[in-house]
């Protein structure tokens, strides 16, 4: 069905600063029309929700149009970067798409921008640098920062627009991102939509009385100002135009605290009974839309304004009718939508093996060097990875060779840095982020598991990201520097995981992870970094790391493991071959997600016995999934109950004696298998 033509007054989605001076009435009329459409659409969406035709929830932007409409008109939609919030329907309407596209999102129709996989206003247009919000407020600021930096790195004078509410201003991500943007000198305009409330919580319960939110910018070394968006829209537009021009020219971040309104409460279900008597009337009295209308009636005449309103209403109704008649989604392709297609292999240069054998840390360093040399879209970031070369020296010498823009230290802000990497990844870059220890990745849990991991499913955009996670214990590092977090992270859909155990596999895994179009967690066991050396070089079959490697063959049982435990398992298998004449099919899993178990199924079917070994904790551990899958398929062939060897269900204890008791060792593995055999 053809979408209705836009009314002539909406033909232009841009506003130039010069127009505000040379032709203010035309400029204001355009702003008015988009504000009016946004207001009516929000109100109509609320009606449809109340009729049960729209599900989920409806968080209207009524009262926010005085900010978002002039700003979206002024932005350069061809290069700028944005992530709209749940108050910004007007911004979405202007940035891209047709009103029907946006209504399809609310209706959760098959043709919705999120394919109906996400609801409400959680959509965007990543191809046009409008990044879809996740519910977790504050989380999108860093993504905008990354996308904006990506544009600048590609030579485009982009500005980023990152919105958040007075309530969201309390989240850690907001602070982390403003600090990061100031440090990296990113041209991002942070806009606080201060409407006085976060759901039912007034600002006096959000931050200490007497402070203004814009004043916080001084703490980050960035400029800021407050802007009343409820009174004089011409002034708002001029101020925003100047601010955008300045940020575009200086490439410095800026914070604007915009005074806005929340005319219809938090959401459709909000009873508003927490408001003071008369407070709601006061909001409506400050509504900028009737004021702007009165001004335009005075200059253009009532008939002209009424005609525009009638045309906008007819357009809205025609669009609602189409969206209402648009087909509903079906579950077809739902599971296939989790991951972006892997893409063709990169044209890596074949090269001779390194002249001397390398350990895992050196193999990773060689892989990073190869990527930085051959792939211009690559860059690496993390704490202390620059001059220092990383806590484990995996990035040694790379800063010197490739320079700061591509190899750089980050502040201690894992969440914002990961969001920033997501923004880079969404715009054509391929960042590799080193976490100093895997344990600190929990600081970025939302960004990793909810933002990056779900990106393709809900927006269709690829998010190619490598997150390097130095993990594992046995080194007396205690509870917070020793954990195995694969089952924590990989229980969330949308993440891939590789866990190499040899220098060549580490090199191959890095290349394979790099060229994948999805977020890949690269688990690097710290004890393996310097465990031993082996020849490392270009391997045309590097993508085989997505499959298990058969390390030994045998017939008594199938032993499945990964990481450092591969080496312990080899020693244990050697022992059983020598002492008991019992041999094992030993598999190094290598890829933890997606799991490719065909060869292991075949082995279990043949041996009839299964041992799963890993260093992570037993309960909810990765082995539970492995045993379940391998048993489900081979139950009739099993001669014994599967054996699961894992760490104790404890925080990783510190002292060597205690850590020894905590995690599998060669001796404990031998004992467990011997007892099981007996």
Ligand X SMILES: Cc1ncc(C[n+]2csc(CCOP(=O)(O)OP(=O)(O)O)c2C)c(N)n1
Judged by the rule CB under 6 A, the positions of this chain that interact with ligand X are 87, 135-137, 165-168, 171, 193, 195, 197-199, 262, 266
List 101, 149, 166, 433, residue binding Mg ion (CB under 5 A) = 166
Could you tell me if 360 and 510 are in contact, meaning their C-beta atoms sit under 8 angstroms apart?
no
Rounded to an integer, what distance in angstroms lies between the CA atom of residue 13 and that of residue 72?
A: 8
**Looking at 3-11, 192-200, 336-344, 431-439, which segment touches Mg ion (CB under 5 A)?**
192-200
Rounded to an integer, what distance in angstroms lies between the CA atom of residue 300 and that of residue 293?
A: 10
Minimum CB distance to ligand X, residue 167 (Å): 3
DSSP output for 521-538? EEEEEHHHHTS--B----
Q: Which does 104 bind (CB under 5 to 8 A by kind): ligand X, Mg ion, none?
A: none
Q: Which is nearer to Mg ion, 63 or 563 (CB)?
A: 63
List 63, 119, 146, 165, residue binding Mg ion (CB under 5 A) = 165
* Site size with Mg ion, rule: CB under 5 A: 4
Q: Which is nearer to Mg ion, 85 or 383 (CB)?
A: 85
Q: Which is nearer to Mg ion, 194 or 224 (CB)?
A: 194
Minimum CB distance to ligand X, residue 273 (Å): 17
Could you tell me if 422 and 95 are in contact, meaning their C-beta atoms sit under 8 angstroms apart?
no
β-partners of residue 522 are 468, 498
Minimum CB distance to ligand X, residue 197 (Å): 5
Q: Which is nearer to ligand X, 59 or 383 (CB)?
A: 59
Instruction: Establish if 259 lies at the interface with Mg ion (CB under 5 A).
Output: no
**Looking at 151-159, 194-202, 238-246, 494-502, which segment touches Mg ion (CB under 5 A)?**
194-202
Minimum CB distance to ligand X, residue 169 (Å): 7
**CB neighbours (10 Å) of residue 577?**
15
Q: Is 266 a catalytic residue?
A: no
Q: Which does 168 bind (CB under 5 to 8 A by kind): ligand X, Mg ion, none?
A: ligand X
Minimum CB distance to ligand X, residue 267 (Å): 8
3-class secondary structure per residue, 421-434: HHHHHHCCCEEEEE
| Beta strands 201-202; 223-228: pairing state | unpaired
Could you tell me if 237 and 20 are in contact, meaning their C-beta atoms sit under 8 angstroms apart?
yes
Minimum CB distance to Mg ion, residue 261 (Å): 10
Catalytic residue among 123, 175, 456, 481: 481
Q: Which is nearer to ligand X, 87 or 216 (CB)?
A: 87
Minimum CB distance to ligand X, residue 424 (Å): 23
Distance from the Cα of residue 512 to its chain's centroid: 20
> What are the DSSP E strand ranges found in 526-625?
549-552, 557-561, 584-588, 591-593, 610-617
Q: Which is nearer to ligand X, 167 or 470 (CB)?
A: 167
Instruction: Establish if 195 lies at the interface with Mg ion (CB under 5 A).
Output: yes
Rounded to an integer, what distance in angstroms lies between the CA atom of residue 66 and that of residue 572?
A: 70
Rounded to an integer, what distance in angstroms lies between the CA atom of residue 144 and that of residue 132?
A: 10
Q: For tokens 């459409």, what's the residue?
A: 37
Q: Which is nearer to ligand X, 81 or 213 (CB)?
A: 213
Distance from the Cα of residue 664 to its chain's centroid: 34
Instruction: Establish if 114 lies at the interface with Mg ion (CB under 5 A).
Output: no
Minimum CB distance to ligand X, residue 91 (Å): 13
511 — alpha (psi -120 to 50), left (phi > 0) or beta? alpha
**Looking at 196-204, 236-244, 489-497, 669-677, which segment touches Mg ion (CB under 5 A)?**
196-204
Q: Which is nearer to Mg ion, 86 or 406 (CB)?
A: 86
Residue nearest to Mg ion (CB): 165
Output the six-digit token pair for 344: 């063709």
Site string for Mg ion, 115-154 (x = CB under 5 A): ----------------------------------------
Q: Is 438 exposed, middle or buried (0-12, 13-18, 19+ CB in 10 A)?
A: buried
Contacts for 58 with CB less than 8 Å, ≥ 6 apart: 45, 46, 49, 106, 120, 267, 268
| Contacts to Mg ion by CB under 5 A | 165-166, 195, 198
Active site residues: 481
């Amino acid at each position: 069905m053809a979408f209705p033509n836009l009314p002539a007054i909406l033909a232009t989605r841009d506003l130039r600063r010069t127009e505000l001076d040379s032709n203010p009435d035309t400029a204001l009329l355009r702003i008015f029309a988009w504000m009016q459409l946004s207001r009516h659409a929000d109100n109509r969406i609320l009606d449809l929700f109340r009729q049960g035709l729209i599900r989920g929830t409806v968080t209207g932007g009524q009262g926010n149009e005085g900010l978002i409409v002039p700003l979206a008109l002024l932005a350069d939609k061809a290069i700028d970067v944005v992530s709209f919030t749940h108050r910004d329907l007007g911004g979405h309407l202007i940035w891209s798409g047709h009103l029907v596209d946006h209504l399809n999102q609310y209706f959760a129709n098959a043709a919705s921008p999120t394919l109906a996989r996400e609801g409400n206003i959680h959509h965007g247009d990543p191809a046009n640098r409008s990044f879809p919000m996740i519910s977790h407020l504050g989380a999108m600021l860093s993504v905008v920062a990354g996308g904006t930096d990506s544009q600048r790195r590609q030579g485009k004078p982009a500005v980023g627009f990152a919105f958040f509410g007075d309530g969201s201003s309390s989240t850690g991500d907001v602070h982390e991102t403003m600090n990061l943007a100031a440090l990296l000198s990113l041209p991002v305009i942070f806009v606080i939509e201060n409407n006085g409330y976060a759901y039912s919580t007034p600002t006096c319960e959000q931050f200490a009385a007497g402070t203004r939110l814009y004043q916080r910018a001084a703490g980050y070394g960035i400029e800021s100002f407050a802007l009343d968006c409820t009174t004089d829209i011409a002034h708002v537009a001029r101020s925003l135009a100047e601010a955008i021009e300045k940020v575009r020219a200086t490439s410095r971040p800026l914070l604007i605290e915009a005074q806005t309104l929340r005319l219809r409460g938090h959401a459709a279900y909000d009873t508003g009974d927490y408001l003071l008597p008369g407070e709601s009337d006061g909001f409506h009295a400050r509504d900028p839309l009737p004021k702007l209308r009165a001004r335009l009636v005075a200059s253009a005449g009532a008939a002209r304004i009424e005609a525009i309103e009638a045309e906008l209403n007819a357009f809205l109704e025609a669009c609602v009718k189409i969206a209402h008649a648009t087909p509903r989604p079906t579950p077809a392709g739902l599971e296939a939508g989790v991951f972006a297609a892997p893409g063709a292999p990169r044209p890596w240069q074949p090269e001779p093996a390194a002249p001397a054998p390398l350990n895992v840390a050196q193999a990773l360093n060689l892989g990073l060097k190869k990527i930085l040399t051959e792939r211009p879209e690559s860059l690496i970031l993390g704490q202390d990875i620059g001059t220092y070369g990383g806590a484990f020296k995996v990035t040694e010498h790379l800063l010197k060779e490739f320079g700061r823009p591509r190899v750089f230290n980050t502040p201690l802000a894992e969440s914002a840095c990961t969001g920033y990497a997501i923004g880079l990844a969404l715009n054509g870059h391929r960042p590799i982020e080193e976490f100093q220890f895997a344990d600190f990745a929990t600081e970025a849990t939302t960004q990793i598991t909810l933002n990056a991991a779900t990106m393709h499913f809900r927006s269709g955009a690829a998010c190619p990201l490598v997150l390097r996670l130095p993990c594992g214990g046995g080194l007396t590092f205690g509870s917070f520097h020793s954990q195995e977090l694969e089952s924590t992270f990989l229980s969330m859909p949308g993440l891939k995981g590789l866990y190499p155990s040899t220098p060549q596999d580490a090199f191959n895994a890095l290349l394979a992870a790099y060229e994948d179009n999805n977020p890949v967690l690269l688990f690097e066991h710290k004890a393996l970094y310097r465990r031993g050396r082996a020849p490392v070089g270009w391997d045309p079959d590097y993508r085989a790391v997505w499959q298990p490697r058969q390390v030994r063959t045998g017939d008594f049982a199938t032993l499945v493991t990964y990481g450092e435990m591969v080496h312990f398992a080899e020693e244990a298998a050697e022992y059983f071959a020598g002492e008991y004449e019992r041999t094992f099919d030993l598999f190094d899993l290598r890829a933890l997600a997606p799991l490719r178990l065909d060869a292991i199924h075949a082995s279990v079917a043949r041996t009839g016995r299964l041992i799963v070994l890993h260093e992570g904790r037993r309960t909810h551990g990765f082995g539970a999934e492995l045993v379940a899958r391998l048993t489900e398929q081979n139950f009739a062939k099993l001669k014994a109950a599967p054996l699961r060897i894992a760490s104790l269900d404890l925080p990783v204890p510190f002292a060597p004696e205690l850590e020894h008791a905590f995690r599998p060792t060669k001796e404990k593995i031998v004992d467990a298998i011997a007892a099981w055999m007996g």
